[in-house]
Chain A
Amino acid sequence: MMIGETVRTAWRSLLANRMRTALTALGMIIGVGAVVAVLAIGEGARASVEGRIRSMGSNLLVIRPARSTSGAVRSGRAQTLVESDATAIKQIPGIAAVAAESEGGAQIRYRENNTSSSVTGVTPSYFAIRSLTISSGLGFTDEDGRERRRVAILGANVAETLFAGRSPLGERIQIRGIVFRVVGVLDAKGAGMSSPDDLVLVPLGTHQGVLFGGDYLSSISVQMQDESQAATVQSRIGQLLRLRHRLRDDAEDDFEVRSQTEMLETMSTITGTFTALLGSVAAVSLLVGGIGIMNIMLVSVRERTREIGVRMAVGARRIDVLLQFLVEAVVVSLFGGILGIAAGYGGAIAIAKVGGWQTIVPPYAVALSLGVSVGIGIVFGVGPARSASKLDPVEALRQE
C-alpha cells in the first residue's frame, strides 16, 4: 500500500477517536513544549551573557584573585589584589585604561523603600572600560574616591525600585545605614545575568574605607590598546603581579587573567550545562508522553483486531499491518510534537514577558523536537504494531 494512503488511513482512524487522540497528543505537547521552552531559556541566557561580555569591548582583560584551594576543596576567592596592583599594571605598554573594582552586597533604603543589591566600588575609568553610560547626573572623579565621598550612581532597575519614576538625582539614600547622595543613574542595559541595571556604584575609596573596610579588590579590568596584543599583555601582567605578590618560582599564581574570549567560553559552558540539565528533566516528560502513545496503541490494536483480520483477508501483508499502526503512532507523536513546538514558542514568549528573561528558540530545537517526536512514535509504536502484524487472521476475524 502506498505510504500516502497509509498516512491518510492513520489520520482518519485518529480522527475517529478525537478525544483520545487529543489526550495522547497532549502528553507529547507538554513534553516537547517543555523541552523547547527550556532550550529557549538556555539560549536566551547564553545570548544575553554573550551580548553583555561583548558589549564590554573585545579588548578587555579581567584580573581576579585565584580561587584558593585547600586540599581538594575549593573555597572562595583569595584576597590578593590591591589598588596599587592596578596602578602598577597601568604602566605596562599597550594598556589604555585600568579600573579597579570591589564588590559587596548591601541593603539600600530610600525612605520606606528597600532593596538589596550588589554595591560595587569603582574607579572613574570603570565606566568607559565597561561601556556604561550615565543617563542623568555625573560620574565619579578621582577626588570622590580619595576623599571617600558618600556619593552613589544607581543602576536603572535599582533607581526604578527605589524611586518609582521620580528623579533620584540629589536624593539621599542609605547604604548599610550610611547616607549617600545619588549623583547619577546608569542607562538601562537590559536584563540578564549580572546586569549593571541591578548595581549600585560608589567610589572605590568610599567602598573600602566607609562601607566594607579592607584594601582588597574583587577584580581589575584592563582595556588594551589593541586586541592583537592580548597574549603579550596577559603574560606581562602575570609577570608583574607575581613579582609584586612575591611569589616563589614554584608557587601557583594567586590571581587569574582572563580575556573576553575565555570569559565567553566559560559562560557558554555554564549556560550549556544548565540548559542540558533542565532539558533532560523536561525530556523525562517526553518519555511519559511516549508511554501514553504506547498505551493507546495497545488499546487500539485490541479494539481493531477484527479490522486487522478483514484487512489481512483482503490481502494486507504483515508489513502492511505493521506500517499502518506504526504510522498511526508516528502521526500522533508528530502531531503532538508540532503543537508542542508551538506551545514551547508560546511558553518562551510568556517567560520573557512575565519573568523578564531573554528567551530565544534556537532553530536546532525545532529540528530536534521534530526528530525526537518521530523517534518516540517509532520506539513506542513498534511494539503494539508488531503485535498487530503477528495476529492470526482466523483468530482476528473471529473477534467480536
Chain B
Amino acid sequence: MTPGLATMARVLGIPHPAVEAGSADPVVIENLEKVYDAEHEDIAVRAVAGISFSVKSGESVAIIGPSGCGKSTLLHILGCLDRPTKGTYRLGGRNVAELDDDELARLRNQHIGFVFQSFNLLPRMSAVENVELPLLYAGTKRAREKAFAALERVGLADRATHMPNELSGGQKQRVAIARAIVTGPSIILCDEPTGALDSKTGREVLALLGRLHADGATLLMVTHDLKVARSLQRALHMKDGLIVADGPSAIVVDAFARTADEEEGAPTS
C-alpha cells in the first residue's frame, strides 16, 4: 500500500485498507503479545506482553532496555521472521498475521532491510553478490546494476568484487547496509549494528545510517549503546515485555540511564 494512495483515499473519504487501519504509517502495532510455550500456562514466557506503537515514515526509533526485556523478540516479529501470539502487526498496511510463509518472505524481501550485529554476509559471495541476493529472490531485472548502485551509496563501489573475508568489520557492515537498502524497503531494522565494531568504525556506520535517514529511510534500531540511542529521534524503553517509556530519545534515554544507575551501577552512557 503506498502512503500516497492512502492519503488520497483519506482526503476523498474512500474506504481503504490502510485508512481503516487508522494510519498510513509503515509499522503499526496494536496489543502485540508473544508467548513462548503458550499451551503450558505454568511455564509460558511472555516475551512481549501486549504493546502498541507505530512508526511513521522517515522516523528513526531506538529500542532500549535490559537483556531479556523482549527487544529481540519484538525485532524478530517486526522483521516477519516470527509471528505474534496475539495482537496485530501491520506492515505497509498489511496484517502480517494473515499472511502465509511465502507472503512473509515477500514482505521481508520488499519491505524490510535487516542489519545484524554480526553482519551475516554470505562468506562465499563477493560484496556485490551479497547485495544482489535480495534482488535475485525478488526476480528483479538488472539486479547487478542495482547492487552496484547500492554499494555506491554506502561508499564501497571500489570493493564490489572483494570477498567478505577481504573486508574490514566496518566495510562488512556497510555491505550489509547496502544489502538492506537495495530493495528500497519501508523500514530498516538494525540489531546492534555497531556492537561488533570499534568506536571509530562504529561512528562511521552510524554516520552512514544517519545519511540514509536524512534521505528518507525509516530506521528502527535495537541497541545497548545509549549514545547511539540518543542520536536517533525517538526511543522506546522496554522492560519485561512492555514499553515503559516512548518519546523523544533524549528524554527516554536519560530516564533509562538514571533507573539503570540506581539498579546496577553505571551502564554505557
A317 touches B120 (CB 8 A): no
A279-319 CB mask vs B (1 if < 8 Å, else 0) is 00000000000000000000000000011011111111111
B109 touches A315 (CB 8 A): yes
* In the assembled complex, B258 has its CB within 8 A of some CB on chain A: no
* Identity of the chain A residue whose Cβ is nearest the Cβ of B114 in the assembled complex: A313
Q: What 5 pairs between A and B have smallest CB-CB spacing?
A: A315-B109, A315-B137, A317-B105, A314-B134, A393-B81
* In the assembled complex, A394 has its CB within 8 A of some CB on chain B: yes
Binding site for A on B (CB under 8 A): 76, 79, 81-82, 101-102, 105-106, 108-110, 114, 116, 120, 122, 124-125, 133-134, 136-139, 179, 183
Interchain CA distance A318-B136 in the complex, whole Å:
15
B120 touches A306 (CB 8 A): yes
Q: How many A-B residue pairs have CB under 8 A?
A: 63
**Which of B102, B114, B122 lies at the interface centre, i.e. has the most chain A CB atoms within 10 A of its CB?**
B122
Within 8 A of B (CB), among A219-235: none
- Residues of A within 8 Å of B, CB-based: how many? 23
Residues of B within 8 A of A317 (CB): 101-102, 105-106, 137
12 extra A-B contacts, CB within 8 A, seeds A313-B79, A313-B81: A16-B124, A307-B122, A310-B120, A311-B122, A313-B114, A314-B109, A315-B108, A316-B105, A317-B105, A318-B105, A319-B102, A394-B76
Q: Which of A1, A16, A394 contacts B139 (CB 8 A)?
A: A1
Could you show 25 A-B contacts with beta carbons less than 8 Å apart? A2-B136, A13-B124, A16-B124, A309-B120, A310-B120, A310-B122, A311-B133, A311-B137, A312-B81, A312-B108, A313-B79, A313-B120, A314-B108, A314-B133, A315-B134, A316-B105, A317-B101, A317-B102, A318-B105, A320-B105, A320-B137, A393-B81, A393-B82, A394-B76, A397-B120
Residues of A within 8 A of B110 (CB): 315
Residues of A within 8 A of B139 (CB): 1-2
Residues of B within 8 A of A314 (CB): 108-109, 114, 133-134, 137, 179
The verdict on A318 contacting B102 (CB below 8 Å), with A307-B122, A310-B122 known, is yes
* In the assembled complex, A20 has its CB within 8 A of some CB on chain B: no
* In the assembled complex, A12 has its CB within 8 A of some CB on chain B: yes
Residues of B within 8 A of A313 (CB): 79, 81, 108, 114, 120
Interchain nearest-CB distance for A166 vs B (Å) = 69
Q: Which of A306, A315, A394, A397 contacts B138 (CB 8 A)?
A: A315
B82 touches A394 (CB 8 A): yes
* In the assembled complex, A5 has its CB within 8 A of some CB on chain B: yes
Interchain CA distance A2-B137 in the complex, whole Å:
8
Interchain CA distance A245-B106 in the complex, whole Å:
88
Interchain nearest-CB distance for A340 vs B (Å) = 27
Residues of A within 8 A of B82 (CB): 393-394
Interchain nearest-CB distance for B35 vs A (Å) = 15
Interchain CA distance A393-B213 in the complex, whole Å:
27
B137 touches A1 (CB 8 A): yes
Residues of A within 8 A of B116 (CB): 397
Interchain nearest-CB distance for B24 vs A (Å) = 24
Interchain nearest-CB distance for B124 vs A (Å) = 5
Residues of A within 8 A of B134 (CB): 314-315
A318 touches B108 (CB 8 A): no
* Identity of the chain B residue whose Cβ is nearest the Cβ of A304 in the assembled complex: B122
Interchain CA distance A12-B76 in the complex, whole Å:
30
* Identity of the chain B residue whose Cβ is nearest the Cβ of A313 in the assembled complex: B114
Interchain nearest-CB distance for B55 vs A (Å) = 19
Interchain CA distance A196-B54 in the complex, whole Å:
95
Interchain CA distance A310-B183 in the complex, whole Å:
16
Residues of A within 8 A of B109 (CB): 314-315
B120 touches A394 (CB 8 A): no
* Identity of the chain A residue whose Cβ is nearest the Cβ of B138 in the assembled complex: A315
Interchain CA distance A394-B102 in the complex, whole Å:
16
Residues of A within 8 A of B124 (CB): 12-13, 16
* Identity of the chain A residue whose Cβ is nearest the Cβ of B108 in the assembled complex: A315
B105 touches A315 (CB 8 A): yes
Residues of B within 8 A of A2 (CB): 136, 139
Interchain nearest-CB distance for A8 vs B (Å) = 10
Interchain nearest-CB distance for B71 vs A (Å) = 14
Interchain CA distance A320-B136 in the complex, whole Å:
11
* Identity of the chain A residue whose Cβ is nearest the Cβ of B76 in the assembled complex: A394
Interchain CA distance A318-B108 in the complex, whole Å:
13
Interchain CA distance A316-B105 in the complex, whole Å:
6
* Identity of the chain A residue whose Cβ is nearest the Cβ of B132 in the assembled complex: A5
Residues of B within 8 A of A394 (CB): 76, 81-82
Interchain CA distance A315-B183 in the complex, whole Å:
10
